[in-house]
């Protein structure tokens, strides 16, 4: 029945088609090695320890291994069903949205122009990226295969295939999210005359489609990889995570540069130079500005949150196996399945009456979130009570306290509790962001008041607000991490502690469906408002209806601003949680001599290696300082990139304005040229920051060694979190302070409302905040994760060049009777090291030079 339904859906929906394709790729890639395995079984068993990675591995082991109960097998298939149910729900909503009224011809024309621009951008981006992804697939395959000296190695193939799948899924989510936003905004605008409730529902459901796609694909990917590789899924999972994060970085940076370049460019030439209103059709940059909202806020953000969803499950699955055996892997998958289920129900509940308002909409959206949280928590507590019995503690004393065993002799509820902390963390981060960026709180009011005394005081107050918000965000994250650690206090294994933190991340992103719905709703409502403004036929609608519909769209826009801002804290929080938990993975890779997580590292060996990473080693402090400076350099680069791209747009618009017919409004400007400039600039500009993300960990690791690389990661997490929170929240506060000034009655004598000096000061704040909150700030999340993944992937190559580390790992392995790869640390090929250092230096040098060279031209005239 499931298959029949699948086939039916498949034939109708491109998205499903694409994801099935990715899955097929995974299997196809494995085909040669499946055959090879069949042969290997006939051959004599390899000498013990010769190739540990090859010993006794079978695909789809969970189907016949005695370790798994039938209930577990059923649950895994059930998870697949839930994943497809999520996708099916997305398909259903898509049908609803597509079927909705599309409004007047003029509205459709505007929407079509925006859509066309957005499609062009994404197609261009995906084409460029596809080449890079192709190259990386080969690099990942070859490096792994060379490391184990076997070009048919299952894990070399699995890693490359999973990387492709992760990247494809991430791109798909971004692409679909954006397409739908450009479909949904038109429908919302058309629904507004019908009533508030209808418009809200359409807008929110447009977001939900992307949300459920994220949920479904994320769950599908993780589950399939586990089904395929079983307890040896590590290599494939790392590839899956890397693919997702890398794509997200491209989408975030490219989209972020596009949207703000178009915005700033359009404003500079329109508002500042020519003194014409924001959406004046004579301004050639208008359409690009609207396109930007979609490629930045929808495509970039959807890919970003998909990646967070993916990396947290990757971290939990990797740690789960080495911590507690296969139950530690299946539990997070099942928790995610519960989350998808809860999201389906709770997002469907969001609705409002025809005469609704901002408060009612917010109440309904929040109600949906609370219902979802409640369902999830109940779900995974019940699941835990049934499932978390007789975990595999690898012979260590589990030390289960009474509040975790609940009186049972075999129960260990601690992973479920860690999830609970994650749910609370998510709610707390949302609230914290709201307090610093919501108009009803003192932070934004402070900026608003400081606009009275001028541009500078508004900016200064924003600094204070942003700094403080970063502190509270950090403290909330610290509390959650400390809580997750405390759950396992008294136990001996640091891996269990890391697993607790990873499960906190799982809990935190349980309601990703709802989070993305809220997020995407922002730009959809924003665009719908724009389409209404430009496209409504005032005469045909009648004055009363027109005003009513416009008010509804304006209200929805306000709701979207709030929901969009509020969820930003979760993204950067997920980077910190994932990075903290992945530290254990980093050490395991070093301790196992680069063999990864194929078999649990003995506790003594793990500790023996972990103890090298002491902050009393100046080398690690140097790594931390370098790592901490990367988010700043990255921000500097992206901020400058926006400036350069905006400058090109200003130039183009100036040229078009010189055409007297365009200026008179009798000839349509060439919107497409500006869209093309934006597209090309964004493509070009994202290379430098991407190089920084990929090559800086490679350079540090090869030049200063794997220990400095660990410090590098720690430093980048600490500074990255603080900087991202600062930039996002200061930007959000300035944005809403401007909104508060604009909502005042206009009175130039009293210095209030639009056009007043106060308003000008507030616009300065908003403009300063734009590249901070929409380009640099949110891109730090994928930056941190890409650096983390690159570090884990490359550290096996670096570790062999550090004699002290090699010596220590060998000594520890001998003491613990752990078998290292046979040729670990013997005569490493120093050409690899020099090659990597030179390539990284050239790439980074080019990136920095590029970012500076054009800056002068950009600011030049």
Q: Restricting to residues 705-744, name those near its own copies by CB under 8 A.
A: 710-711, 714-715, 717-719, 721-722, 726
* CB closer to its own copies, 236 vs 481: 481
| CB of residue 705 to its own copies, shortest distance in Å | 11
* Those residues with Cβ within 8 angstroms of residue 830's Cβ, 6 or more apart along the chain or in another chain: 801
Binding mask 566-585 for its own copies (x = CB under 8 A): ----------x---x--xx-
| CB of residue 631 to its own copies, shortest distance in Å | 9
| CB of residue 602 to its own copies, shortest distance in Å | 16
Under the binding rule (CB under 8 A), the answer on residue 368 touching its own copies is no
What does the chain come to in residues? Answer: 861
The answer to whether residues 769 and 732 touch, using CB atoms and an 8 Å cutoff, is yes
Within residues 453-482, the interface with its own copies by CB under 8 A covers: 453-457, 459-461, 463-465, 467-468, 470-471, 474-475, 477-478, 481-482
Distance CA 198, CA 89 (A): 19
Within residues 131-190, the interface with its own copies by CB under 8 A covers: none
Under the binding rule (CB under 8 A), the answer on residue 640 touching its own copies is yes
Indicate which single residue of 15, 191, 704, 799 sits in contact with its own copies (rule: CB under 8 A). Answer: 704
* CB closer to its own copies, 350 vs 580: 580
| CB of residue 784 to its own copies, shortest distance in Å | 13
Distance CA 67, CA 78 (A): 19
| CB of residue 710 to its own copies, shortest distance in Å | 6
- Left, alpha or beta for 56 (phi > 0: left; psi -120 to 50: alpha)? left
* CB closer to its own copies, 217 vs 506: 506
Under the binding rule (CB under 8 A), the answer on residue 323 touching its own copies is no
| CB of residue 575 to its own copies, shortest distance in Å | 12
Within residues 419-448, the interface with its own copies by CB under 8 A covers: 442, 446
Under the binding rule (CB under 8 A), the answer on residue 485 touching its own copies is yes
* CB closer to its own copies, 535 vs 769: 769
Binding mask 776-815 for its own copies (x = CB under 8 A): ----------------------------------------
List, as one string, the DSSP characters of 122-190.
HHHHHHHHHHHHHHHHHHHHHHHHHHHT-TT-HHHHHHHHHHHHHHHHHHHHHHHHHHHHHHHHHHHHH
Which has the closest alpha carbon to 523: 285, 237, 259?
259
Distance CA 487, CA 481 (A): 10
Which has the closest alpha carbon to 686: 836, 571, 786, 791?
786
| CB of residue 499 to its own copies, shortest distance in Å | 11
Q: Which residues partner with 389 through β-bridges?
A: 411
* CB closer to its own copies, 128 vs 607: 607
| CB of residue 643 to its own copies, shortest distance in Å | 7
Under the binding rule (CB under 8 A), the answer on residue 31 touching its own copies is no
Indicate which single residue of 103, 216, 522, 643 sits in contact with its own copies (rule: CB under 8 A). Answer: 643
Under the binding rule (CB under 8 A), the answer on residue 833 touching its own copies is no
Which has the closest alpha carbon to 774: 825, 724, 709, 845?
724
| CB of residue 332 to its own copies, shortest distance in Å | 18
Lookup: tokens for 113: 């122009």
Distance CA 473, CA 725 (A): 7
Within residues 588-627, the interface with its own copies by CB under 8 A covers: 610-622, 624-626
Indicate which single residue of 764, 788, 794, 840 sits in contact with its own copies (rule: CB under 8 A). Answer: 764
Lookup: tokens for 102: 């599309």
| CB of residue 703 to its own copies, shortest distance in Å | 10
Distance CA 428, CA 481 (A): 13
| CB of residue 135 to its own copies, shortest distance in Å | 28
Under the binding rule (CB under 8 A), the answer on residue 494 touching its own copies is yes
- Left, alpha or beta for 614 (phi > 0: left; psi -120 to 50: alpha)? beta
The answer to whether residues 703 and 455 touch, using CB atoms and an 8 Å cutoff, is no
* CB closer to its own copies, 84 vs 488: 488
Q: Which residues partner with 747 through β-bridges?
A: 752
Which has the closest alpha carbon to 412: 314, 328, 316?
328
* CB closer to its own copies, 225 vs 724: 724
Q: Which residue has the tokens 């084409």?
A: 127
* CB closer to its own copies, 541 vs 621: 621
| CB of residue 743 to its own copies, shortest distance in Å | 19
Options 147-155, 427-435, 490-498, 784-792: segment touching its own copies (CB under 8 A): 490-498
* CB closer to its own copies, 24 vs 456: 456
Distance CA 440, CA 169 (A): 38
Indicate if the alpha-carbon torsion angle 557, 561, 566, 569 is positive or negative: positive
Indicate which single residue of 368, 530, 628, 688 sits in contact with its own copies (rule: CB under 8 A). Answer: 628
Collapsed DSSP state (helix, strand, coil) of residue 389: strand
User: What per-residue string of b and e applies to 242-280 under the rule 16 or more CB within 10 Å gives b?
Assistant: bbbbbbbbbbbbbbbbbbbbbbbbbbbbbbeeeeeeebe
- The residue count for binding its own copies (CB under 8 A) is 88
| CB of residue 468 to its own copies, shortest distance in Å | 4
Under the binding rule (CB under 8 A), the answer on residue 772 touching its own copies is yes
The CA dihedral of 202, 208, 210, 214, to the nearest 10 degrees, is -170
Within residues 263-322, the interface with its own copies by CB under 8 A covers: 268, 272
Q: Which residue has the tokens 């506060």?
A: 733
| CB of residue 456 to its own copies, shortest distance in Å | 4
Within residues 397-416, the interface with its own copies by CB under 8 A covers: none
């Amino acid at each position: 029945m499931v298959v029949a339904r699948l086939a039916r859906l498949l034939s109708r929906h491109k998205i499903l088609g694409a994801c099935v394709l990715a899955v097929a790729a995974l299997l196809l890639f494995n085909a040669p090695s499946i055959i090879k395995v069949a042969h290997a079984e006939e051959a004599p068993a390899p000498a013990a320890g010769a190739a540990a990675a090859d010993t006794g591995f079978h695909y789809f082991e969970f189907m016949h291994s005695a370790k798994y109960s039938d209930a577990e097998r059923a649950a895994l298939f059930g998870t697949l069903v839930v994943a497809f149910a999520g996708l099916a729900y997305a398909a259903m909503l898509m049908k609803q949205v597509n079927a909705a009224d599309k409004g007047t011809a003029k509205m459709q024309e505007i929407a079509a122009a925006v859509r066309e621009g957005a499609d062009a951008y994404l197609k261009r981006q995906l084409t460029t990226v596809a080449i890079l992804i192709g190259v990386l697939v080969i690099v990942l395959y070859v490096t792994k295969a060379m490391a184990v000296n076997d070009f048919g190695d299952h894990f070399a193939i699995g890693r490359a295939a999973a990387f492709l799948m992760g990247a494809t899924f991430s791109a798909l989510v971004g692409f679909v999210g954006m397409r739908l936003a450009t479909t949904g905004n038109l429908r919302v605008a058309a629904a507004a005359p019908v009533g508030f409730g209808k418009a809200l529902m359409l807008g929110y459901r447009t977001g939900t489609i992307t949300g459920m796609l994220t949920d479904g694909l994320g769950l599908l990917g993780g589950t399939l990889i586990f089904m395929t590789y079983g307890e040896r899924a590590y290599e494939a999972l790392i590839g899956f995570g890397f693919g997702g994060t890398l794509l997200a970085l491209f989408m975030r940076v490219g989209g972020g540069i596009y949207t703000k370049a178009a915005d700033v460019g359009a404003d500079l030439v329109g508002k500042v130079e020519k003194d014409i209103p924001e959406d004046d059709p004579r301004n050639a940059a208008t359409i690009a500005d609207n396109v930007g909202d979609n490629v930045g806020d929808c495509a970039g953000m959807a890919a970003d949150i998909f990646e967070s969803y993916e990396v947290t499950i990757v971290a939990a699955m990797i740690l789960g196996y080495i911590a507690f055996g296969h139950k530690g892997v299946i539990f997070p998958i099942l928790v995610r399945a519960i989350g998808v289920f809860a999201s389906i129900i709770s997002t469907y509940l969001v609705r409002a009456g025809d005469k609704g308002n901002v408060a009612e909409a917010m109440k309904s959206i929040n109600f949906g979130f609370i219902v979802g949280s409640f369902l999830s928590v109940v779900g995974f507590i019940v699941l835990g009570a049934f499932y978390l019995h007789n975990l595999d503690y690898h012979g260590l004393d589990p030390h289960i306290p009474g509040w975790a065993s609940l009186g049972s002799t075999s129960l260990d509820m601690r992973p479920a509790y860690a999830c609970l902390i994650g749910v609370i963390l998510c709610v707390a981060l949302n609230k914290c962001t709201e307090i610093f960026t919501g108009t009803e709180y003192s932070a934004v009011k402070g900026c608003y008041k400081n606009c009275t005394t001028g541009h500078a005081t508004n900016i200064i107050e924003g600094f204070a607000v942003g700094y403080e918000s970063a502190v509270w965000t950090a403290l909330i994250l610290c509390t959650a991490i400390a809580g997750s650690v405390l759950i396992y206090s008294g136990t001996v294994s640091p891996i269990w502690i890391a697993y607790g933190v990873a499960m906190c991340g799982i809990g935190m992103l349980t309601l990703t469906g709802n989070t993305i719905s809220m997020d995407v709703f922002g730009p959809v409502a924003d665009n719908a408002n724009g389409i209404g403004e430009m496209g409504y036929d005032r005469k045909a609608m009648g004055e009363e209806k027109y005003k009513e519909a416009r008010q509804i769209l304006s209200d929805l826009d306000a709701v979207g601003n709030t929901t969009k801002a509020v969820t930003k804290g979760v993204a950067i929080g997920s980077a910190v949680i994932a990075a903290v938990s992945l530290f254990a993975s980093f050490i395991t890779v070093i301790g196992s001599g680069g063999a990864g997580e194929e078999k649990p590292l003995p506790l003594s060996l793990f500790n023996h290696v972990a103890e090298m990473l002491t902050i009393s080693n100046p080398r690690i402090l140097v790594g931390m300082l370098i790592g901490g400076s990367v988010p700043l350099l990255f921000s500097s680069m992206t901020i400058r990139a926006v400036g350069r791209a905006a400058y090109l747009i200003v130039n183009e618009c100036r040229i078009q304005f010189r055409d007297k017919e365009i200026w008179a409004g009798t000839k349509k400007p060439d919107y497409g040229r500006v869209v093309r400039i934006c597209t090309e600039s964004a493509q070009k500009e994202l290379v430098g920051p991407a190089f920084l993300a990929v090559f800086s960990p490679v350079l540090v690791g090869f030049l200063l060694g794997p220990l400095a690389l660990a410090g590098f990661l720690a430093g980048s997490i600490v500074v990255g979190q603080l900087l991202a929170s600062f930039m996002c929240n200061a930007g959000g506060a300035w944005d809403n302070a401007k909104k508060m000034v604009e909502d005042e009655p206009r009175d130039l004598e009293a210095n209030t409302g639009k056009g007043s000096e106060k308003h000008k000061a507030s616009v300065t704040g908003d403009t300063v905040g734009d590249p901070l909150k929409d380009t640099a700030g949110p891109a730090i999340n994928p930056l941190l994760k890409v650096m983390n993944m690159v570090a884990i992937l490359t550290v096996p190559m670096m570790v062999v060049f550090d004699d002290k580390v090699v010596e220590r790992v060998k000594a520890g392995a001998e003491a613990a009777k752990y078998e290292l790869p046979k040729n670990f640390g013997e005569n490493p090929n120093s050409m690899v090291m020099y090659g990597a250092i030179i390539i990284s230096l050239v790439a980074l040098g080019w990136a920095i030079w590029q970012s500076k060279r054009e800056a002068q031209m950009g600011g030049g005239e």
